[in-house]
């Protein structure tokens, strides 16, 4: 199988190399309308088919590695270091992305999958897809070069194969780790598609905004994957790492957040281009930056440039990423300079108080947040260069600098949708803003009345602002729904709920977006609760109890257990509230045999108000009694609820509008008859000229 | 007014109450300060966690550092002195955020400056663009348009959709 895997990777490289070279040559011939013996259209078609075939070759390589894991083929060095015989099946599958070589293979495979779908759907616009396919092949070639020459996943161990492997990192032996990395990678890798379309559209001077329509769903789906990946990672950290939090501002976490921020900015500002033909330069650079930040994040963590708990050991592949990033940057700058006259805006901003301005500010805040995180992540490197010593830029720094920016974004999320396109009249501002302002002020007063003291410390201040502004934003979003539903209720005679549903169906993108905003507000409410986290630690004997907030924990038992994969120590704790037993928790400490590492299994009793988060911190060596650490974390459940709402909102926004579904012919007719001429879809490569 | 003995007793009780409250307040304040400072110092064992959150079994550093921190707080050292002591002993990476010294100040100033510059830039762009914008001509009296506008206002309760 290792030979089969290695051969598949070589074959994939050859196929992608052909897609890149033949595709680029054919597109060049088409651009200069050269006459050659082989028609450029046919050459481009062979390039497309080679690209499709590369998907099968890369899939075969990925399959070979998974097969090696399931068959305990410890002659493969990667399997030896990331699996063992006692490892449960799902985690053997997860071994594919638990190390550097495997995760690069996963990246290459996901890229090949995206490329496969893109090349199959080439009829949406043959020529633009040919450009995108060629650019995508360029990125594929880079990852396949890495896999074939710098980080080969099928490298064999020297001498006889050991009888058993070293096992999977215990922190990765958790159900969410089976889906978190693929989700994150689907997000990272997915941004290659809109990047390829944007660069391709710029190279071929693609007329109009159709490339944005083509890539909109790609971008949204990618954004959704990245969002899921980030929050699954946060949930994993909360459930496994056992320090009571979900976000530590670790460089790897930051690396995932940066492309998310620029990608979100792109999703917003691209609406300006669609609706008003504005911000074309900006959008092109946003998507370029998003792709480059995905690569930069990988570079940061794999080159050993910054230290992280997630980072793979320092390796030589950092220089490959430097080179690739440099090439991408040069290509982007070169193309932009050559074609920048193609990106002139159709309209200008007419008023500072308009939807357009709010998008500008929204983009500014997203980029400021992204810059802040990049600055914080790279400052230790800069400090070492300038001062000769590294410093740590950790949670206290980000809480002070990045959180206020986040709160600004929260406020803008409520303000933006209330402003009209082009210009908002004073009257409409007054009318739209009265209710949200009342809600904000009322919430602030209520918080003060129930005893919140924002002036005491930074945490309570941020949470006070977050709760108050969140109330205003929720009111603004609700009023948008109610206003639209009221119109439909009058028009159709339906009740308000049916009218709301119809409203969403008629403009899924707009109201799906509002649902996403609502989800983000709910996430902010959950995050704001962290200002009131409490924790306590106690050694506990049989029947001994400890009090945390309204809960009483009574130790019923503590014991040890063993199985082939790990030995464990755990305590059984009955949880009482108001004298009534509510649940039993079993915090656990595991010692994994193969990897000789210790891992914490958190026991969590989650409610909508707070999480009772219990950790088995260890044993007192003198008494052998367990030491139990308990956190009472308010409102954490709302973070995960908010994420679900965000997912639902994105799915709604992805669904076509009801009118388009019911009457596609009418929609087409309307599009043809619109004042702004749409570009006719070229049926062939020549047709796009 | 009060007998001398009663006055003395009340005085003593008052002094004791003040001392007891002060001690309790001091304990509470020290506890809060310990929590705050332990979340501003890193555990140097390589776990990349804050000292107050390090949960390793057998961590070689965190217990010792927590003891040092508690002792420094009890000793009455101010925050800067505590941070400097930890920095001197464990190196500059022991602090979870850079101090306001020399080059490290840039870490704090640059992001807000960039944001302010960005806001200024947006205002500049909008101001520069606005005069060039050409207003769309609106027909002076189009009865059909007026009826439509009135209907929109009636149904939406306002003047914009």
Residues of chain A with Cβ-Cβ distance to B33 below 8 Å are none
Same domain, A479 and A593: no
Backbone angles phi, psi at A546, to 5 degrees: -140, 150
Q: What is the pLDDT of residue B7?
A: 64
Q: pLDDT band for position A170 (50/70/90)?
A: confident
- Whole-angstrom distance, CA of residue B97 vs CA of residue A429: 42
Find the angle CA(A257)-CA(A366)-CA(A647) to the nearest 5 degrees: 60
User: What's the average model confidence in pLDDT over A593-617?
Assistant: 86
**Final residue before a domain boundary, out of A496, A519, A535:** A496
pLDDT at A533 over 50: yes
Looking at the structure, tell me whether residues A471 and A544 fall in a common domain. no
Judgement on whether residues A208 and A79 belong to the same structural domain of the protein: no
Contact A589 B57 (CB under 8 A): yes
If asked whether residues A144 and A196 sit together in one domain, one would say no
Residue A313, pLDDT score: 47
Question: Which pLDDT score, from 0 to 100, does residue A442 have?
Answer: 94
Separation of alpha carbons A618 and B98, rounded Å: 32
The answer to whether A95 and A166 have CB atoms below 8 angstroms apart is: no
Q: How far is A668 from chain B (nearest CA, A)?
A: 24
**Which pair of tokens denotes residue A8?**
């598949």
Question: Cα(A685)–Cα(A41) distance, rounded to whole angstroms?
Answer: 7
Please report the pLDDT score of residue B127 as a whole number: 76
Least confident of A184-188, A336-340, A439-443, A620-624: A620-624
Size of interface A-B (CB pairs under 8 A): 151
CA distances from A235 to A88, A240, A398, A528 (A): 22, 8, 20, 16
User: Do A159 and A194 belong together in one domain?
Assistant: no
ipTM of the complex model: 0.77
Q: Chain B residue closest to A394 (CA)?
A: B96
d(CA A456, CA A448): 12
pLDDT score, position A608? 93
Q: How confident is the model at residue B10 (pLDDT cuts 50, 70, 90)?
A: low
Neighbours of B34 (CB within 10 A): 17
A534: left (phi over 0), alpha (psi -120 to 50) or beta: beta
B14 confidence band (pLDDT: 50, 70, 90):
low
Contact assignment for B57 to A396 by CB distance below 8 Å: no
Q: Which residues of A touch B132 (CB under 8 A)?
A: 348
Distance from CA of B149 to the nearest CA of A (A): 14
- Same domain, yes or no: A5 and A145: yes
- pLDDT tens for A41-50 read 888 899 999 9
Question: Contact A26/A68 with Cβ under 8 angstroms?
Answer: no
* Domain assignment of residue A604, yes or no: yes
Backbone phi, psi, residue A570, to 5°: -150, 160
Residues of B in contact with A396 (CB under 8 A): 39-40, 96-97
- A447 & A529 share domain: no
The pLDDT of residue A673: 44
Question: Based on the domain organization, do A2 and A19 belong to the same domain?
Answer: yes
Give how many domains chain A has, as a whole number: 4
pLDDT at residue A369 is higher than 60: yes
Buried b (16+ CB within 10 A) or exposed e, A2-39: beebbebbebbbbbbbbbbbbbbbbbebbeeeeeeeee
Confidence category of residue A659, pLDDT binned at 50, 70, 90: low
pTM of the predicted model as reported, rounded to 2 decimal places: 0.85
Q: How far is CA A141 from the centre of its chain?
A: 24
Please give the torsion angle defined by the CA atoms of residues A589, A592, A596 and A601, in that order, rounded to the nearest 10 degrees: -30
Supply the DSSP string of A207-260, one letter for each residue: -TTHHHHHHHHHHHHHHHHHHHHHHHHHHHIIIII-SS-S----HHHHHHHHHH
Q: Is residue A566 part of a domain?
A: yes
- Asked if pLDDT for residue B79 goes beyond 50, the answer is yes
| Residue contact A244–B118, C-beta within 8 A | no
- For every residue of B65-120, DSSP letters joined together read HHHHHHHHHHHT--HHHHHHHHHHHH-GGGBSS--SSGGGHHHHHHHHHHHHHHHH
Q: Give the nearest partner residue to B114 out of A244, A368, A376, using CB atoms.
A: A368
Residue A118 lies inside a defined structural domain of this protein: yes
Rounded distance, CA B28 to CA B32, Å?
Answer: 6
Interface test with B, best of A170, A277, A377, A394 (most B CBs within 10 A): A394
For residue A592, what are the β-bridge partners?
Answer: A566, A597
How close is the nearest chain B Cα to the Cα of A538, in Å?
Answer: 14
Enumerate the residues of chain A whose CB falls inside 8 A of the CB of residue B155: 486-487, 490-491
User: Taking a C-beta distance cutoff of 8 angstroms, is the pair A225, A190 a contact?
Assistant: yes
| B159, pLDDT greater than 60 | no
Please count the other Cβ atoms lying within 10 Å of the Cβ belonging to residue A459: 17
Is A684 among the domain residues?
no
Beta bridge partners of A362: none
Q: Are residues A308 and A277 in the same domain?
A: yes
Residues of B in contact with A360 (CB under 8 A): 122, 125-126
- Asked whether the beta carbons of residue A364 and residue B39 sit closer than 8 angstroms, the reply is no
CA A113, CA A197: separation in Å to the nearest integer?
16
Element (H, E) at A632: strand A626-634
**Is A686 within a domain?**
no
CA-nearest residue to B109 within chain A is A401
Chain B nearest-CA distance from A645, in A, is 26
Average of pLDDT values for A575-600? 86
CATH assignment at residue A138: 1.20.120
Q: Name which of B92, B114, B134, B138 to mutate to probe chain A: the one with the most chain A Cβ atoms within 10 A of its Cβ.
A: B92
CA count, 13 A, side-chain hemisphere, A136: 36
From chain A, pick out residues whose CB is under 8 angstroms from the CB of B160: 420, 424-425, 428
Q: Which residue of B35, B46, B97 to mutate against A (max A Cβ within 10 Å)?
A: B97
Which residue segment(s) compose the domain that A135 sits in? 1-167
Pick the closest to residue A465 from A398, A408, A396, A395 (CA basis): A408
Helix B79-90 and helix B62-75, axial crossing angle in degrees, nearest 10: 150
Domain shared by A254 and A389, yes or no: yes
Residues of A in contact with B104 (CB under 8 A): 383, 387, 391
- Based on the fold, state whether residues A258 and A397 are members of the same structural domain: yes
Q: A486-502 pLDDT, tens per residue? A: 888 888 888 888 989 99
What is the rounded distance in angstroms from the CA atom of residue A226 to the CA atom of residue A218?
12
Choose one of A392, A413, A434: the last residue of a domain: A413
Give the CATH superfamily of B1-97. Answer: Cytochrome C biogenesis protein (1.10.8.640)
- My answer on whether A213 and A332 are in the same domain is yes
Cross-chain Cβ contact A394/B97 below 8 Å: yes
Mutate to test the interface with A, among B107, B157, B161 (most CBs of A within 10 A): B107
DSSP A461: H
Interface touch A390/B93, C-beta < 8 Å: yes
Which tokens go with B64?
A: 């010792």
For residue A618, list chain B residues with Cβ-Cβ distance below 8 A. Answer: 57-58
How does pLDDT run across A399-456, given as a tens digit for each residue? 899 899 999 999 988 887 777 776 667 777 777 888 899 999 999 999 999 888 888 7
Residues of B whose CB is below 8 A from A250 = 48
Q: Tokens representing A416?
A: 């933006």
Residues of B in contact with A348 (CB under 8 A): 129-130, 132-133
Is the pLDDT at A522 greater than 90? The verdict is yes
Dihedrals phi, psi of A109, to nearest 5 degrees: -70, -45
Output the pLDDT for position A6. 93
The predicted pLDDT at position A28 comes to: 86
């Amino acid at each position: 199988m290792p030979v089969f895997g290695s051969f598949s990777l070589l074959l994939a490289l050859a196929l992608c190399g052909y897609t890149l070279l033949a595709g680029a040559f054919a597109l060049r011939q088409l651009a200069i309308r050269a006459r050659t013996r082989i028609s450029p259209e046919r050459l481009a078609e062979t390039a497309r088919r080679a690209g499709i075939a590369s998907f099968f070759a890369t899939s075969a390589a990925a399959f070979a590695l998974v097969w090696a894991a399931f068959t305990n083929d410890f002659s493969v060095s990667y399997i030896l270091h990331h699996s063992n015989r006692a490892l449960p099946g799902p985690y053997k599958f997860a071994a594919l992305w638990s190390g550097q070589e495997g995760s690069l293979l996963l990246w290459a495979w996901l890229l090949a999958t995206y490329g496969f779908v893109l090349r199959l759907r080439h009829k949406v616009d043959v020529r633009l897809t040919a450009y995108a396919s060629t650019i995508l092949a360029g990125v594929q070639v880079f990852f396949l070069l890495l896999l074939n020459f710098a980080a080969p996943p099928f490298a064999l161990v020297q001498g006889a194969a050991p009888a058993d492997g070293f096992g999977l990192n215990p922190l990765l032996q958790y159900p969410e780790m089976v889906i978190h990395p693929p989700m994150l990678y689907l997000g990272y890798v997915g941004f290659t598609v809109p990047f390829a379309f944007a660069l391709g559209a710029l190279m071929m001077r693609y007329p109009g905004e159709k490339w944005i329509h083509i890539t909109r769903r790609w971008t949204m789906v990618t954004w959704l994957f990245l969002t899921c990946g980030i929050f699954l990672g946060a949930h994993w950290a909360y459930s496994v790492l056992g320090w009571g939090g979900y976000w530590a501002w670790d460089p790897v976490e930051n690396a995932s957040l940066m492309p998310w921020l620029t990608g979100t900015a792109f999703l917003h500002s691209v609406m300006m281009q669609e609706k008003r033909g504005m911000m074309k330069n900006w959008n092109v650079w946003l998507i370029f930056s998003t792709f480059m930040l995905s690569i930069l994040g990988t570079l940061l963590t794999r080159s050993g440039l910054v230290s992280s708990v997630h980072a793979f050991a320092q390796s030589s592949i950092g220089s490959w990423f430097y080179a690739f990033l440099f090439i991408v940057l040069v290509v982007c700058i070169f193309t932009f300079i050559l074609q920048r006259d193609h990106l002139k805006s159709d309209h200008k901003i007419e008023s500072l108080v308009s939807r357009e301005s709010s998008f500008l500010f929204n983009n500014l805040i997203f980029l400021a947040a992204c810059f802040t995180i990049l600055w914080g992540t790279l400052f230790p490197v800069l400090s070492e260069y300038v001062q000769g010593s590294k410093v740590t830029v950790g949670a206290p720094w980000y809480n002070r600098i990045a959180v206020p920016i986040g709160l600004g974004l929260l406020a803008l999320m409520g303000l933006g949708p209330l402003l009209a396109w082009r210009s908002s009249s004073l009257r409409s501002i007054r009318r739209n803003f009265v209710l949200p302002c009342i809600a904000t002020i009322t919430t602030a007063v209520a918080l003060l009345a129930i005893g919140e003291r924002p002036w005491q410390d930074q945490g309570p201040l941020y949470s006070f602002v977050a709760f108050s502004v969140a109330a205003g934003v929720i009111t603004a979003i609700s009023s948008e729904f109610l206003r639209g539903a009221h119109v439909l209720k009058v028009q159709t005679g339906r009740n308000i709920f049916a009218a709301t549903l119809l409203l969403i169906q008629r403009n899924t993108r707009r109201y799906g977006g509002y649902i996403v905003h609502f989800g983000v507000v709910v996430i902010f409410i959950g995050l704001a609760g962290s200002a009131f986290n409490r924790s306590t630690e106690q050694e506990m004997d049989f029947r001994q109890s400890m009090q945390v907030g309204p809960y009483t924990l009574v130790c019923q038992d503590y014991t040890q257990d063993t199985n082939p994969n790990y030995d464990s120590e755990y305590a059984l704790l009955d949880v009482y509230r108001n004298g009534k037993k509510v649940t039993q928790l079993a915090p656990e400490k595991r010692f994994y045999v193969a990897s000789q590492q210790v891992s914490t299994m958190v026991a969590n009793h989650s409610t909508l108000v707070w999480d009772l988060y219990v950790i088995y911190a260890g044993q007192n060596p003198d008494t052998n009694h367990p030491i139990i650490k308990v956190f009472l974390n308010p409102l954490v459940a709302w973070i995960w609820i908010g994420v679900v709402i965000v997912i639902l909102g994105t799915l709604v926004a992805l669904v076509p509008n009801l009118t388009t579904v019911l009457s596609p012919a009418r929609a087409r007719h309307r599009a043809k008859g619109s004042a702004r001429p749409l570009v006719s879809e070229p049926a062939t490569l020549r047709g796009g000229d | 007014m009060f007998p001398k003995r009663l006055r003395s007793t009340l005085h003593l009780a008052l002094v004791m109450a003040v001392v007891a409250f002060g001690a309790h307040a001091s304990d509470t304040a020290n506890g809060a300060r310990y929590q705050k400072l332990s979340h501003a110092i890193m555990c140097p064992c390589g776990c990349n966690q804050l000292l107050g959150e390090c949960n390793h079994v057998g961590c070689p550093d965190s217990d010792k550092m927590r003891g040092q921190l508690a002792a420094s707080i009890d000793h009455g050292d101010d925050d800067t002195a505590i941070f400097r002591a930890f920095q001197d002993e464990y190196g500059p990476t022991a602090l979870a955020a850079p101090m306001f010294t020399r080059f490290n100040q840039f870490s704090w100033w640059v992001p807000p400056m960039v944001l302010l510059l960005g806001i200024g830039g947006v205002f500049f762009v909008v101001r520069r663009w606005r005069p060039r914008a050409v207003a769309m001509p609106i027909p002076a009296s189009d009865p059909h348009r007026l009826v439509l506008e009135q209907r929109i206002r009636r149904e939406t309760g306002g003047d914009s959709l």
